[in-house]
């Protein structure tokens, strides 16, 4: 399998949080299927600097919650898909920020490197510390999901409706059939036409992996498109049916959130507008350069501009 066959499933954590709001014994039972990990609680260990989270201080405790979301295939610790899920209780919104993997930034204690190497070099702790220290956030928890969980999730909702462009077709077919053969999935037909159509799990995964059409900007936009579709489909099934379906996905999930945290956040999400997830991505236009450093094609970024734009998206424009 090619390295980089990965997708973060931001929607999985949102769905889990939304559907477990009841906090029943059954809920606690199925949440036991998730792999739990612990992160250090100190701000220094996670790169949380008081000077870099000025916006946070203007809110009451936990009014805006940021959770890191990582995607990998399990055989490789690099996280080629990285997002931040924001739960904004003040404005009753859910927000999703894609962090492009090729940003060349400081990996604390490791020197300069590309963002998707942070998890490989120091696990979830270094990955979160890298995000916080570079972009001035206060992330304290994460959810990681591997590729197979994403494929199963798409198939559980009966596929996703995507408007396929002509230049995307060959990449969808070659990648999807390769994954299906490797995992011994049942045979399925190739995509042969453009326009809106249903893609199954392997095809949807292949669609979200395309980088040669629109570069990484197009790839992360495709990820968010698929995740939004799945989120709406599962939410529309009703809590009991959707929660039952999610039991097949949970073994692919790893998180630092406790069951109590998940249930509490789920209750919060019930009162938010989850029908429309607001989207953003870093780096923003005109605040990065394409360069080749040590043989790597990377994005060097204007950290101040990107940090300010990210804070504005997450926290809004605040009065001094």
Domains within the chain, CATH numbers bracketed = 10-146+216-315 (3.40.630.190), 151-205 (no CATH)
- Three-class secondary structure of residue 128 per DSSP: helix
pLDDT at 4: 29
- Three-class secondary structure of residue 75 per DSSP: coil
The mean pLDDT value of the chain amounts to: 81
pLDDT at 265: 78
pLDDT in tens, 74-104: 555 667 678 898 988 888 888 889 899 899 9
- Three-class secondary structure of residue 145 per DSSP: strand
pLDDT at 293: 95
pLDDT at 103: 96
Q: Running DSSP on this structure, what letter comes out for residue 251? A: G
Nearest-angstrom CA–CA distance, 65 and 270: 15
Residue 312 has pLDDT above 70, yes or no: yes
Give mean pLDDT, residues 280-294: 94
pLDDT at 189: 93
Give mean pLDDT, residues 120-134: 94
Q: Are 109 and 223 within 8 A, CB to CB?
A: no
Bridge-based pairing of strands 160-164 and 288-293 is unpaired
15-19, 68-72, 160-164, 171-175, range with the lowest pLDDT: 15-19
pLDDT interval class at 170 (50, 70, 90)? very high
Give percent of the chain with pLDDT exceeding 90: 38
**What is the reported pTM?**
0.78
Nearest-angstrom CA–CA distance, 280 and 217: 11
Nearest-angstrom CA–CA distance, 252 and 73: 10
């Amino acid at each position: 399998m090619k390295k980089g066959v990965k997708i973060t499933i931001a929607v999985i954590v949102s769905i889990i949080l939304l559907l477990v709001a009841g906090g029943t014994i059954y809920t606690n039972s199925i949440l036991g299927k998730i792999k739990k990990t612990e992160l250090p609680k100190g701000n220094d260990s996670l790169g949380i600097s008081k000077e870099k989270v000025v916006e946070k201080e203007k809110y009451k405790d936990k009014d805006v919650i940021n959770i890191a979301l990582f995607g990998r295939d399990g055989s490789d610790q690099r996280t080629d898909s990285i997002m931040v899920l924001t739960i904004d209780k003040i404005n009753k919104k859910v927000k999703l920020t894609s962090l492009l993997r090729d940003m060349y930034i400081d990996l604390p204690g490791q020197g300069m490197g590309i963002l998707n190497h942070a998890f490989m070099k120091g696990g979830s702790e270094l990955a979160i510390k890298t995000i916080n220290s570079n972009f001035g956030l206060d992330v304290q928890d994460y959810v990681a999901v591997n590729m197979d969980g994403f494929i199963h999730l798409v198939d559980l909702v009966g596929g996703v409706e995507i408007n396929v462009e002509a230049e995307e077709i060959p990449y969808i077919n070659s990648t999807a059939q390769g994954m299906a053969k490797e995992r011994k999935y049942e045979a399925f037909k190739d995509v042969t036409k453009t326009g809106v159509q249903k893609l199954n799990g392997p095809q949807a995964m292949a669609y979200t992996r395309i980088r040669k059409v629109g570069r990484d900007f197009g790839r992360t936009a495709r990820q968010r498109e698929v995740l939004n579709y799945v989120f709406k489909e599962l939410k529309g099934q009703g809590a009991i049916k959707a929660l039952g379906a999610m039991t097949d996905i949970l073994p692919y999930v790893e998180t630092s959130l406790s069951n109590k945290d998940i249930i509490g956040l789920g209750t919060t999400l019930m009162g938010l507008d989850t029908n429309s997830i607001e989207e953003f991505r870093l780096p923003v236009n005109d605040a990065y350069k394409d360069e080749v450093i040590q043989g790597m094609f990377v994005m060097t970024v204007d950290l101040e501009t990107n940090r300010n734009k990210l804070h504005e998206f997450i926290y809004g424009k605040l009065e001094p």
